[in-house]
Homo-oligomer: A and B are copies of this chain.
């Protein structure tokens, strides 16, 4: 392993991301958009045989270089720690209080894009595999993007933010189940009905058990150790559990991410639930502030990597470009309307402004759409044209949604600005 080459890649990308972020926040636009655009630029900076990424030892092709693997790992860890820190600020009680609204937003926000994607491809080329996979790719909201905007604007304690976070977690679970079903139906995987039922059950049990643990088990453990600590001379200034609270947090974050990944969910869902487990004590242990430097180190690589996946060259043909445009419009419209209708049905007290916030907040697809597309391409269920359109859709919704979302938020909460 060439440590020097990895250091060079990390420092160059980190500096460019910071510059991109700085320029955009200067104009009141979320910094992550600047990071994504830096990613788009550097990935497409090719002059003859020379490419900017090649200079950094990055090859993103079918046989990616070690440097790109490390960039991807840092990106994944970044979004894992981001969702963990969002979880740290999300108490299970509060999540349950918006539970009904979040569930309705998630479910209608999943069904409308699923149906629209299916119908679109049946009309476009009549291929049922294409139709199923496009539907599945349009389903899941990228909670990472929205969460970052919510965090940057410091509006996590608003009702809208809580509904969005809750709905994004639920629709990710629903999205994973739908992906399993679609893979089974296109019979490229080895999915049976019982397998699908198993995955769905595991996912629901995992979420339910985590919430139950946060409500009833963790407080008991905390009380036990607090009493034991009180009865002994003060020695540990840590968590009172006899371990450093930061170490405990890192273990919970990585452990729950692994658990989620193992049972077939996205790692970030586990990270979020792990954070929620510690949310009641995050303030006392100062966990939010202590996790932030770790997130800062990693998270830019996630947004850079989203941008780097955009191949501007693939937009060259007219038919590919038109398909991409239609998919983008369908993706935005169906998610926005599905979720704002869901919000109206789920909680009658939400104003039009609030429904707008929720609708726009759920639009970004980001990594989950990309994962679905990658599986579709690998199993042959998606054409490379459709794959390109989905990637462009995932990235475009990610880029377009945050400024609109931030604007919708600022309309209702005028004191909230992009930091």
Which A residues are within 8 Å of any B CB, using their own CB? 1, 3-4, 6-8, 10-11, 14-15, 18, 22, 64, 66, 69-70, 72-73, 76, 242-244, 246-247, 250-251, 254-255, 257-258, 261-262, 267, 290-294, 296-297
Residue of B10, B66, B246, B297 near A296 (CB, 8 A) is B246
A66: B residues at CB distance < 8 A: 66, 69
- Tell me if B293 and A73 are in contact (CB < 8 A): no
Please indicate the chain B residues that have their CB under 8 angstroms from the CB of A22 in the complex: 242-243
Residues of B within 8 A of A294 (CB): 293-294, 297
Q: Considering the chains assembled together, what is the distance between the CA atoms of A292 and B297 in angstroms?
A: 12
- Contact B296–A254 (Cβ < 8 Å): no
The one of B7, B244, B267, B291 that contacts A4, using a Cβ cutoff of 8 Å = B267
In the complex, the answer to whether A7 meets B290 with C-beta atoms within 8 Å is no
**Do A76 and B261 touch (CB < 8 A)?**
no
Task: Please determine whether B251 and A11 come into contact, CB atoms closer than 8 angstroms.
Answer: yes
Verify A11–B290 contact, CB threshold 8 A. Answer: no
Besides A8-B258, A66-B69, A244-B296, 8 more A-B contacts (Cβ < 8 Å) are A7-B261, A11-B254, A14-B254, A15-B251, A15-B255, A66-B66, A290-B293, A291-B293
Distance between A193 CB and nearest chain B CB, rounded to angstroms: 25
Contact pick for A11, options B4, B258, B296, CB 8 Å: B258
User: For residue A251, which residues in chain B have a CB less than 8 angstroms away from its CB?
Assistant: 11, 14-15, 18
Partner among B3, B64, B242, B293 whose Cβ is within 8 Å of the Cβ of A76: B3
In the assembled complex, the CB of A270 is this many whole angstroms from the nearest CB of chain B, namely 9
B72, A1: Cβ atoms closer than 8 Å: yes
Question: Separation in Å of the A83 CB from the closest CB of chain B?
Answer: 14
**Cα A285 to Cα B262 with chains together (Å):** 40
Q: Lowest 3 A-B CB distances belong to which pairs?
A: A7-B258, A4-B261, A11-B254
Q: Could you name 22 residue pairs across A and B whose Cβ atoms are closer than 8 Å?
A: A1-B64, A1-B69, A4-B262, A4-B267, A6-B73, A7-B254, A7-B258, A7-B261, A8-B262, A11-B251, A11-B254, A11-B258, A14-B251, A14-B254, A18-B243, A22-B243, A66-B66, A70-B73, A246-B296, A250-B297, A291-B293, A293-B294
Interface centre among A7, A244, A262, A291 (most CB of B within 10 A): A7
CB-CB under 8 A from A73, the residues of chain B are: 1, 3, 6, 70
Shortest Cβ distance from residue A268 to the other chain B in the assembled complex, whole angstroms:
11
Tell me the smallest distance from the CB of A406 to a CB of chain B, in Å: 18
B70 lies within 8 A of A261 (CB): no
Interface centre among A3, A246, A290, A292 (most CB of B within 10 A): A3
Cα distance A305–B258 in the bound complex, in angstroms: 22
CB contacts (< 8 Å) of A11 on chain B: these are: 251, 254-255, 258
A89 to chain B, nearest CB (A): 17
B70 touches A246 (CB 8 A): no
**Min distance, Cβ A363 to any Cβ of chain B, angstroms:** 26
Contacts A14-B250, A250-B14, A290-B293 given; indicate if A7 touches B257 (C-beta within 8 A): yes
